[in-house]
Amino acid sequence: MPQTADQLVSLAAQVAKAPGFVSQGMSFLNIALQELAQNYDFDVARGTYLFTFNTSLGSGPIPLPADYLRADKDDVFFTIQGVPYPLISYDLSEFDSFLQQPGMASYPTAYATDLSLQNSIVPVMYVWPPPSGAYPMTIRYRRQMPDIIAGTGTIPWFPDQNYLLTRVAGELMKLTDDDRKDSYLGDGPSGAQGILRRYLDLKDDQSSRAQLVTLDRRTFGRGGGNLKDTKVMGWSYGSNS
């Protein structure tokens, strides 16, 4: 039976011989979970965002979910009559060099995201060329998971509870100047980093799959060449280079 966040923090405080540091332990637990979501791609922390292109927005900005961090290759695509067409991810600096003219619209082939929040309270994306129709769009993305509030009985989303327990106990030991902190936080067999490394080796059931190395589609196969002809439909589209 998985432990709740409160149970994990209480146990970690006992291990660290700091029973009065439960509030600090919950803060350390949330920091550890934030770090895991930001630095690693776990399928358990994945979300799906569905929307339909609003042609009045042109290339954008198109609002993204507030918890959006990043998306994997081929996980951003629109569909026409059930046929998926993935968009290629570009940096904003590259995207700014694309031709933009009034009235220009077609089937989008590229996108870029702006996570700076300088113009919006949520992340936004831009697509190119601007969509010529209200195509349904799907984005599978890595989420910034919400913080856990004490007393809610929430089970942490990260499944390796041994790592969380060891990590929080080690962080509490730093507050109490416990000499065991380095071994609890270190890369040894029983340290938090060692436990996490072993988990990462087998995460998301990837161990039985061949890993493919692909060419950067920003350089190889640019533009409309990525729109596949199908038996249902076909098109002719010029290069964007």
- Give the highest mean pLDDT range of 37-46, 116-125, 162-171, 200-209: 162-171
How many angstroms separate the CA atoms of 112 and 126, rounded? 5
186 close to 25: Cβ distance less than 8 angstroms: no
pLDDT tens readout for residues 77-136 = 999 988 999 999 898 888 888 887 777 888 898 999 988 866 667 899 999 999 989 999
How many angstroms separate the CA atoms of 13 and 131, rounded? 54
Comparing 23-32, 129-138, 152-161, 194-203, which segment has the lowest mean pLDDT? 194-203
- Going from N- to C-terminal start, the domains of the chain cover 5-42+158-203, 43-144
The yes-or-no verdict on residue 225 having pLDDT over 50 is no
For residue 238, name the pLDDT band (cuts at 50, 70, 90).
very low
| pTM for this model (two decimals) | 0.77
50 three-state secondary structure: strand
